C-alpha cells in the first residue's frame, strides 16, 4: 500500500498494534503513537500501563488526547490510498486479453487498449511498429488512462487546467495551454511532495522537541518546587523553634514571678503576724490597767499607753496581681519582634535568591581607560596610567566605572562581587541609556541603583535621599539581586549572610546592566580588584 507520492510512508502512519493506518491517533508520554481504541484495549487487558513498543512503564494511566497533526496526515494518506485503489484494486489480477486460459497479464498497451501475458507481449518487443506503443504495468480500468474524447492515451499534462490530456487535445481545446509530458510533470510534483514531506517531518521533529522541552521544564519546575518546599520547611522549623523558645522563656519567667510573689506574701504574713502579737500584748496590758486600783501608777505610765504601738500602714500593701500578665505581654511583644525579624531572615532569603545566579562578565568596551581587566573578564583593578583606548559612546571616560556584558529586560538575576581590601567602591545596576561621559552622579534619577563605600567603612545606599547604612563592618563580598517585574534591587553581605539594603517599588524600562565602580587608586591604598565570583549554593 505504500506510495511514493504520499506525504509519509505507510510505515510511519501504521499503528503497531493493529498494523493498519491510524484511527484517532494518540501519543504516549514516551513519544510513540497508536490508535486510541487499540491502546485502551491493550491497557485494559493488562494489570499495568506500559508502552507496547519500548515497554516504558507509567506510574499512572496517562490521559489520552487525539494527535491532530498525525490524525490529519493519516486521513490524507488513507484518502490517497483509496484513490489509488480505485484505479488498481488491491488483490485484483489483470488477465491477458488474448489468452483463452486467462494467463496473468504482464503489461497493458494504451495504443492497443489490451493487456498481454508474457507470450502475447512478444510482438511489442520484436516488431518495430509495436515497439512504439505505450506500455505500462497491467491495469483493469483502461478507460481512465485514455482520453474519452479522442480515444488516445493520456500522455500529456495541461498545467493551465491541471488535467491530463492526449496529443490531439493539444491541437484543440488546449492548443494555447502549457502542456508537458506526464513524466516531466510527475517529476515536478514528486519534487514538491518531497519538499512538503520534508517540511512535515520538520514540523513533527519540532513538536517532538517541544514535547521534550515541556517535559524538561516540568522536571525543572518539580526540582525547583522541591527546593522551595525544603526551604519552606526550614523556615517553619525555625519559626517553631522560635515559638518554643519564647514559650519556655515565658513559662520560666512566669514561674520565677510566681515564686517571687509567694516569697513576698510570706514576708508580708510574717510581718503582719509579728504586729498582731505585739498588738495582743498591748491589748492585754490595757485590759489589766483598766482594772487597776493603783491610780498613781496608771497616771505615770498613761502617756506611753495612750498611743497604739508603732505599726506599718497596710492600706496600699498587696501582692502584685499583674506580674504574670506583664510577663506575658513582654513575651508576646518579644515574640512578635522575633517573628518580624524571621520574615526577613536574610540567610534563608539569600539562599533562595542565589538560585537566580547568572554568569556576569565585564565589558571592556565600557571600561574607563584607567581600568585593567583580567583575561577572563572577571576582575578589574584601577591602574596608574591612562590606556590609549577608542572613545566609543559606551565607554566611561571620567568615572572609574564599567558594566557587565549581559543586559536583562525581564525576570530575576543575581551575582556576587568580592570587594575585600578596597577602601572605596560602588556596585549595582544601571539603565542601558544612562550617561557614561563626564562626572557621573550616582542617583535614581540618573538611572543608577547602587550602594557606595567610601573612607573604607562608610557605606551608603544611593537612594533619594541617600541613606547611611549602619553595619558592624564593611562587607567583603556583596550579592546583588534584581527582580525586574517587581521593581526590586537588593544587596546582601554574602559572608555574613545578612541584608544590606533594598530599592523597592522601582519602575524599570529597557535593559539593565550590572554596574561596577572601582574608585581611584590612592597610592596603592585602593589597589585591590573587584572580583566577580562564582555563586556558592549553601
Q: pLDDT (tens digit, 9 = 90+) per residue, 7-66?
A: 455 567 788 777 778 888 888 888 888 888 888 888 888 878 888 888 888 888 888 888
pLDDT tier for residue 82 given thresholds of 50, 70 and 90:
low
Return the percentage of the chain with pLDDT > 70, whole number.
Answer: 89
* Furthest CA-CA distance within the chain: 186
For 329, counting Cβ atoms within 10 Å of its Cβ (0-12 exposed, 13-18 middle, 19+ buried), the class is exposed
Q: Are 77 and 6 in contact (CB under 8 A)?
A: yes
Assign 119 a pLDDT band (cuts: 50, 70, 90).
confident
Q: Which of 456, 407, 453 is nearest to 433 (CA)?
A: 407
What's this model's pTM, rounded to 2 decimal places?
0.42
Average pLDDT over residues 249-255: 83
Q: Per-residue pLDDT for 81 more than 80?
A: no
What pLDDT, in 10s, does the model give residues 470-493?
Answer: 887 889 999 999 999 999 999 999
Contact in structure between 341 and 349 (CB atoms under 8 Å):
no
Which of 286-295, 386-395, 500-509, 520-529 has the weakest average pLDDT?
286-295
The answer on pLDDT for 437 being more than 80 is yes
| 367, 517 Cβ separation under 8 angstroms | no
Compute the 3-state secondary structure of the chain and give helix, strand, coil in percent, each to the nearest 5: 40, 20, 45
Report which of residues 320 and 372 the model is more confident about: 372
pLDDT tens per residue, range 258-291 = 888 889 899 989 999 998 998 888 888 888 888 8
How does residue 422 score in pLDDT terms, banded at 50, 70 and 90?
very high
Which of 37 and 298 is assigned the larger pLDDT?
A: 37
Residue 324: pLDDT over 60:
no
Query: Which residues in 57-67 are b (16+ Cβ under 10 Å) and which e?
Result: eeeeebebeeb
**326-363 tens-digit pLDDT:** 666 676 777 776 666 555 555 667 778 888 999 999 99
Amino acid at each position: 500500500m505504500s506510495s511514493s507520492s504520499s506525504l509519509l510512508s505507510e510505515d510511519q502512519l501504521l499503528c503497531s498494534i493493529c498494523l493498519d493506518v491510524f484511527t484517532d491517533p494518540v501519543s504516549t508520554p514516551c513519544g510513540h503513537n497508536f490508535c486510541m481504541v487499540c491502546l485502551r484495549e491493550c491497557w485494559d487487558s493488562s494489570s499495568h500501563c506500559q508502552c507496547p513498543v519500548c515497554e516504558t512503564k507509567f506510574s499512572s494511566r496517562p490521559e489520552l488526547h487525539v494527535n491532530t497533526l498525525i490524525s490529519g496526515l493519516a486521513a490524507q494518506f488513507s484518502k490517497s490510498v483509496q484513490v489509488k485503489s480505485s484505479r488498481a484494486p488491491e488483490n485484483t489480477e489483470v488477465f491477458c486479453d488474448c489468452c483463452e486460459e486467462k494467463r496473468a497479464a504482464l503489461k497493458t498497451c494504451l495504443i492497443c487498449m489490451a493487456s498481454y501475458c508474457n507470450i502475447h507481449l512478444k510482438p511489442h518487443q520484436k516488431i518495430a511498429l509495436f515497439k512504439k506503443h505505450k506500455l505500462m504495468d497491467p491495469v483493469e480500468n483502461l478507460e481512465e488512462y485514455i482520453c474519452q474524447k479522442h480515444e488516445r492515451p493520456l500522455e500529456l499534462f495541461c498545467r493551465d487546467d491541471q488535467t491530463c490530456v492526449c496529443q490531439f487535445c493539444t491541437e484543440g481545446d488546449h492548443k494555447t495551454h502549457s502542456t508537458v509530458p506526464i513524466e516531466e510533470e510527475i517529476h515536478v510534483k514528486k519534487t514538491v511532495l518531497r519538499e512538503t514531506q520534508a517540511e512535515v517531518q520538520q514540523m513533527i521533529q519540532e513538536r517532538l522537541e517541544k514535547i521534550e522541552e515541556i517535559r524538561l521544564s516540568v522536571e525543572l519546575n518539580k526540582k525547583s518546587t522541591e527546593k522551595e518546599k525544603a526551604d519552606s520547611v526550614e523556615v517553619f522549623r525555625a519559626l517553631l523553634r522560635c515559638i518554643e523558645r519564647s514559650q519556655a522563656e515565658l513559662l520560666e519567667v512566669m514561674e520565677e514571678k510566681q515564686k517571687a510573689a509567694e516569697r513576698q506574701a510570706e514576708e508580708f504574713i510574717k510581718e503582719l503576724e509579728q504586729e498582731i502579737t505585739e498588738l495582743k500584748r498591748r491589748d492585754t496590758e490595757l485590759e489589766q490597767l483598766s482594772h487597776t486600783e493603783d491610780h498613781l501608777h496608771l497616771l505615770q505610765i498613761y502617756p506611753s499607753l495612750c498611743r497604739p504601738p508603732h505599726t506599718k500602714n497596710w492600706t496600699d500593701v498587696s501582692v502584685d496581681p499583674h506580674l504574670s500578665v506583664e510577663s506575658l505581654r513582654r513575651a508576646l511583644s518579644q515574640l512578635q519582634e522575633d517573628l518580624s525579624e524571621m520574615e526577613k531572615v536574610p540567610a534563608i532569603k539569600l539562599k533562595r535568591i542565589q538560585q537566580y545566579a547568572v554568569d556576569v562578565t565585564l565589558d571592556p568596551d565600557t571600561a574607563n581607560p584607567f581600568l585593567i581587566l583580567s583575561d577572563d573578564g572577571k576582575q578589574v583593578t584601577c591602574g596608574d596610567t591612562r590606556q590609549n583606548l577608542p572613545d566609543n559612546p559606551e565607554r566611561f571616560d571620567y568615572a572609574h566605572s564599567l558594566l557587565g556584558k549581559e543586559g536583562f529586560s525581564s525576570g530575576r538575576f543575581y551575582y556576587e562581587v568580592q570587594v575585600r581590601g578596597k577602601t572605596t567602591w560602588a556596585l549595582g545596576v544601571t539603565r542601558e541609556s544612562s550617561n557614561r561621559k563626564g562626572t557621573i552622579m550616582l542617583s535614581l534619577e540618573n538611572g543608577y541603583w547602587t550602594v557606595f563605600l567610601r573612607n573604607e567603612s562608610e557605606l551608603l545606599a544611593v537612594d533619594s535621599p541617600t541613606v547611611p547604612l549602619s553595619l558592624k563592618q564593611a562587607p567583603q563580598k556583596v550579592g546583588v539581586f534584581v527582580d525586574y517585574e517587581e521593581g526590586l534591587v537588593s544587596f546582601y553581605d554574602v559572608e555574613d549572610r545578612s541584608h544590606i539594603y533594598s530599592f523597592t517599588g522601582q519602575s524599570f524600562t529597557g535593559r539593565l546592566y550590572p554596574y561596577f565602580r572601582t574608585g581611584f587608586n590612592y597610592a596603592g591604598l585602593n589597589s585591590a580588584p573587584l572580583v566577580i565570583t562564582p555563586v556558592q549554593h549553601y
